Amino acid sequence: MSSAARQTVERERDAVRARIAELDTSFTAIADSVDTANVDDEHDPEGATLAFERAQVVSLLGEARARLDALDDAMVRIDAGTYGTCEQCGGAIGVERLAARPDARRCIECASVGARPGRSR
Ligand SMILES: [Zn+2]
């Protein structure tokens, strides 16, 4: 596969890494304010807010890390020469889809058939 694909995946990976660094900073900031406030998560309204924010950051971090894994995977497929090939039907995934989702493993047809209603990912 072309070096253009590699560049796209690398750029996306950098963006996700930056996002993870940002979220890590937020997480630390929240953890610090929990420590300094010495709040009780269950009874203090501020503590509940902090707990909620922390849970959100943790969930976003999880998503970002999963995305980073998917992009690492895409890089492996580029090296193996299978990048851009649908793993389900063996057809081409399509340049536009890869531009929008560099980590896509399936073509748009297979992805939409396989997708469950109500789930966007
Ligand atoms: Zn397919």
Can you give the pLDDT at residue 120?
47
What is the Å distance from ligand 1's center to 87 Cα?
A: 7
* pTM (predicted TM-score): 0.77
pLDDT tens profile 96-114: 999 899 999 999 999 998 6
CA of 121 to the centre of ligand 1 (A): 16
The pLDDT score that the predictor gives to residue 32 is 87
Q: State in Å: Cα 57 to ligand 1 middle.
A: 34
- How far CA 75 is from CA of 66, 67, 69, 94, 117, in Å, comes to 14, 12, 10, 17, 29
Cα(34) to centroid of ligand 1, in Å? 48
Residue ranges of the chain whose pLDDT lies below 70: 1-2, 37-43, 114-121
116 alpha carbon to ligand 1 midpoint, in Å? 16
Q: Are 108 and 18 in contact (CB under 8 A)?
A: no
